[in-house]
Amino acid sequence: MSTAVRCGGPGRSGTVVAMIEVNELTKRYGRRTVVDRLDFTVRPGHVTGFLGPNGAGKSTTLRMVLGLNAPTSGAATVDGRDFRGLPRGLREVGALLDAGDVHGGRTGGAHLRALALGNAIPRRRVDEVLAEVGLADAAGRRIGGYSLGMKQRLGIAGALLGDPPVLLFDEPLNGLDPEGVLWVRGLFRRLAAEGRTVFVSSHMMAEMEHTADRLIVIGRGRLIADESLGEFAARAGRTGVAVRAAEPERLTAVLRAAGATVRPGPDGSLDVTGLDPGRIGELALEQRLLLYGLTERGASLEEAFMQLTADSVEYLAGEPR
Amino acid sequence: MNARTPVRRARFGDLLAAEWLKFWSLRSIPWVLALGALAVLAANLRTAQYTHDHYLPGEGDPVVMKQVALNGSFDTASADILMLLAGSLGAIVIAGEYGTGLIRTTLAAVPDRRAVLLAKAAVLTAVLTGFGIVSAGGSFGLTQAVLADRGIGQSITDPTALRYVAAAALFAPVCGLVGLCLGTLLRHSAGAVVGTVVVLFFLPSLVTERYRWSADLLHALPFAAWQRLARTTLAGMRPTEYPATVAGSWTTYAAWALASVVLATVVIQRRDH
């Protein structure tokens, strides 16, 4: 059963390509720009990770995609349409923004039944998604008594209710136990394999490493990277050099003058990128600086991500534009 | 996934069903309504009993006694209870969604915000009208039965008695919609309840009927409108130069209900969530 038939409403062609398209999207609160001319496309058939440090504008972007927040300028569309103009949402986009966006006084079952009723989704489907997320036994209990992991599962159940071609998840792994994390990863991959668009935000690269096959990285509301996990890994392949020196301050100045990026590493060593170990050794010799250690190492994806986002922050703060 | 889920276009009725379920699936709500109705009944039975014990048959102007008998069925204390309960309930129905964050889940599922708010308002109106009919109507039946053996018990078939009960019953949804509006504006349960109390309860006591303009202002407030509608005769009242009219008071009810829904709809439509 294809997404096209399942979700094809009136006025749509047979081959539905339910993409999320973000075009020059900008959101300002007063003078603060939270999302800054963001441009990207999220395509079906992949799990796309949406990465950025805390406060990068990920949640605001997702809320604009869902029509909860109005863009200051630009547009976010799903399947070419503005979400705010749709009468009902669950069959178009399933979303979990925050597992806490529920009323603790209701039972999990009542919460899902109310969502289903409003979208004309049959009652049977509620039992299906409850079973799918493993909450069938907890459906009659009040949400206030759920753990964070159970609330995440309930939120995922709500996102799956309408069997939608597009799914959005904001930090869905928070509070899940290791078994839950594995289950969610498997679920996301399966949803993508079914031809759906799966867009998952996180501030942790490590979470995305085993989940996403494409990455959209933002920092301070701006697009930093939009590429496959493979391309991103290639960036991470850039090696860094750990240097231990007798006079780290002087060496830092020398290496920076030679164009390297130098950061203080653990136990007093220096983390140098942009110069190979041979060149670092030569520079130290020229300046008569004593080196104790010179170790080449590959950066992890996590480090590549940190570096990428840190660069963007430095770039924004330091460079006159 | 599967093909078993047939697709039917969702209608407004589906939203009504959803909001109806949401309303009743909070455990405290049936209790609040039941206790509120009991409080109204108890307060009025006490008043009726007092009238019963102190009324000497044949005493007083029959027109005034009719008013006294009706007051036994729904006194000012009951109106206060009804006002606080209905107003708070209306405020909490929406402010509770904002306070918990549920509003985002609700609006992501139903992007048509106007429809969400209208469905909420419709369910609230239906529930509170029912609540008003049960508590004011029930109270009328019981208290007039108490007063019957004094010969002043009124019948609901009497147009003025019917108006008396209708004014009390409909006071509940009017107050509820005012609460709903303030809950939408303030988004905070406690704040919205306080705001509702201020608007419904304190505002009328700050306005005098002495001048034309302030009398007009007073008569445009829901509580004063209820007071006028509950007044079957102006005999025995302190005379006022600018009395409120019955038609004007019904209009006040309608205007507050309508304006509350319109304002809440406009606000929810424009706001970021």
Provide ipTM, 2 decimals: 0.89
For residue A89 the two structure tokens come to 């949402």
Contact B22, A114 (CB under 8 A): yes
What pLDDT is recorded for position B54? 84
Residues of A in contact with B100 (CB under 8 A): 100-104
Instruction: Please name the amino acid found at residue B242.
Output: Y
Q: What DSSP character marks residue B150?
A: T
CB of B13 less than 8 A from some CB of A: no
| Residue scoring higher pLDDT (B208 or A233) | B208
| pLDDT for the residue A105 | 94
Kindly state whether A141 is in contact with chain B, defined as any CB-CB distance less than 8 angstroms.
no
Chain A 59-98, CB below 8 Å of chain B: which residues?
Answer: 63, 66-70, 83-91, 93, 95, 97-98
A248 to chain B, closest Cα gap in Å: 50
**B1, B19, B272 ranked by CB distance to A70: nearest:** B272
Cβ-in-10-Å burial (0-12, 13-18, 19+) of B59 comes to exposed
Q: How many CA atoms lie within 13 A of A92 on its CB side?
A: 27
Q: pTM for the complete prediction?
A: 0.83
In chain A, residues with a C-beta closer than 8 Å to the C-beta of B18 are: 114-115, 117-118
C-beta separation of B4 from B99 below 8 A: no
Q: What is the predicted pLDDT for the residue at B3?
A: 44
Of all residues in chain A, the one with the smallest CA distance to B270 is A70
Helix or strand (DSSP H, E) at A94: strand A93-96
CA B123 – CA A59 distance, rounded (Å): 32
- Looking only at Cα atoms, what is the longest distance across chain B? 79
pLDDT level of residue B98 (50, 70, 90 thresholds): very high
Pairing state between β A197-202 and A166-170: parallel
Instruction: Look at the block and give the residue holding tokens 């489907």.
Output: A125
pLDDT for A9 equals 40
Interface test with A, best of B102, B106, B120, B267 (most A CBs within 10 A): B102
Given a contact cutoff of 8 angstroms between Cβ atoms, the answer to whether A121 and B122 are in contact is no
- Please report the pLDDT score of residue A10 as a whole number: 39
Strand A197-202's sheet: what is its strand order?
A93-96, A166-170, A197-202, A47-51, A214-219, A222-228
Return the SS3 of A29. Answer: strand
CA separation for the pair B257, A157 (Å, rounded):
37
**More confident site: B5 or B271:** B271
Chain B hits for A89, CB-CB cut-off 8 Å, are: 108-111
| Residue B100 at interface with chain A, using a CB cutoff of 8 Å | yes
CA B55, CA B47: separation in Å to the nearest integer? 12
Radius of gyration of chain A, Cα coordinates, nearest whole angstrom: 23
Which of A114, A101, A160, A115 lies closest to A134 in space, CA to CA?
A: A160
Encoded tokens for A285: 């010799």
What is the model's pLDDT at position B194? 94
Hey, is the C-beta of A1 within 8 angstroms of any chain B C-beta? yes
What does each C-alpha distance from A80 to A85, B7, B15, B25, B71 come to in angstroms? 11, 21, 26, 37, 62
Tell the burial category of B163 from Cβ atoms under 10 Å away from its Cβ (0-12, 13-18, 19+).
Answer: middle
Which pLDDT score is estimated for A295? 82
- The minimal CB distance from B1 to the residues A68, A93, A163 is found for A163
Q: Report yes or no: B72 and B45 within 8 Å, Cβ to Cβ.
A: no
- pLDDT averaged over 10-residue windows placed end to end, chain A, 321 residues: 41 60 95 94 95 91 96 95 93 95 96 97 96 96 95 97 96 90 94 96 84 92 90 71 89 89 82 85 90 77 76 50 45
Calpha distance A35→A220 (Å, rounded) = 7
